[in-house]
Structure 1
Amino acid sequence: MAYPPRRRARIEVVAMIDIIFFLLAFFMLATLETLPARGLDGQLPASATASRLDPADVVIVLARDGAISVAGAPLDHQRLTALLRDKGPRTQVTITGAGAASLTDLVAVMDACRAAGITAIALATREVGA
């Protein structure tokens, strides 16, 4: 009695490569550091002359009621100044938040930044009509 010739087992890697590239693309897109992806509260004010900037080192969120938070952690003005002083004077800061935030609160946040020696301060806005 003759047995059929033995065939070697093959592992099909084409499907695995497709899945790996899909996961790589998914995780790359999921970890992009952009302002809209951070889920910031509030409606940004509109500006017709705004320009795109490089991503900031620190994003300060100013709420409608004047509350300040950085990376989701609430801070007061003294702790904000201490945090920024630890980061160094070359830190780029973006202030974002509610369009209805008080100008007094905005100036207080900018004063805290300047007290820490920060000079690169930007205000986040949205495009007109967006």
Structure 2
Amino acid sequence: MFQRDNKRKVDIRILPLIDVIFFLLVFFMLFTTFRATPAGLDIDLPQAETVTEQEQKQLTINISAQGQIYLEDEELTIAALQSRVANVINEDPEAVIIIEADREVFYDKIVEVMDTVRQVGAHRLALAAEEKVEEQ
């Protein structure tokens, strides 16, 4: 006889959904633009085809394009670098010292750091490079 229309209409509230999607979009845009570099430095490493990963205990020395020396997020002078590396070598004489120098750094600055490190007994040195990617 009488037909009742008790069906509820489906009501999708899209406004809260848009807020969440917008938040996620902004988050991922910001997250992908920040670069995680050691010591907050933007070091442009040279490229090489024979890059190998170091697996032993290591100490990384960063040299910025302006020639500043950093060790564990701290800017150091040559004398301070020498004493810090000496402490590491006293603990582990087989520690590998990795030097990450920007490609714009003058060669004499790299040699100065290498010489300083070798004076305190570190003989396992490595120069960091990025793996060369072939252009197609």
Query: For this structure pair, what is the TM-score category when the shorter chain's length is used for normalisation?
Result: 0.5 to 0.7
Q: How much does 1:116 deviate?
A: 1.1
**Where do 5+ consecutive residues of structure 1 fail to align?**
1-35
Mapped contact 1:94–1:124 kept (Cα < 8 A): yes
Mapped contact 1:95–1:121 kept (Cα < 8 A): yes
Partner residue, 2:129 = 125
Q: How much does 1:90 deviate?
A: 2.5
Q: Distance in 2 between matches of 1:128 and 1:90?
A: 28
Mapped contact 1:64–1:101 kept (Cα < 8 A): yes
Q: Distance in 2 between matches of 1:42 and 1:84?
A: 21
Q: Out of 93, 101, 109, which is 1:97 matched to?
A: 101
Name the Cα RMSD after superposition.
Answer: 1.9
Aligned pair 1:50/2:20, yes or no?
no
**Which deviates more from structure 2 when the two are superposed, residues 41-50 or residues 101-110?**
41-50
Percent identity (aligned): 24
Query: What SS class does the counterpart of residue 75 from structure 2 fall into?
Result: strand
Aligned pair 1:111/2:115, yes or no?
yes
Mapped contact 1:41–1:97 kept (Cα < 8 A): no
The structure whose Rg is larger is 2
Q: How much does 1:40 deviate?
A: 4.4
TM-score between both structures, scaled by the size of structure 1: 0.65
Letter in 1 for 2:97: V
Aligned pair 1:84/2:88, yes or no?
no
Mapped contact 2:63–2:102 kept (Cα < 8 A): yes
Q: How much does 1:67 deviate?
A: 0.7
Distance 1:92 1:75, change over 3 A: same
Query: What SS class does the counterpart of residue 61 from structure 1 fall into?
Result: strand
Query: What SS class does the counterpart of residue 65 from structure 1 fall into?
Result: coil
Query: What SS class does the counterpart of residue 126 from structure 2 fall into?
Result: strand
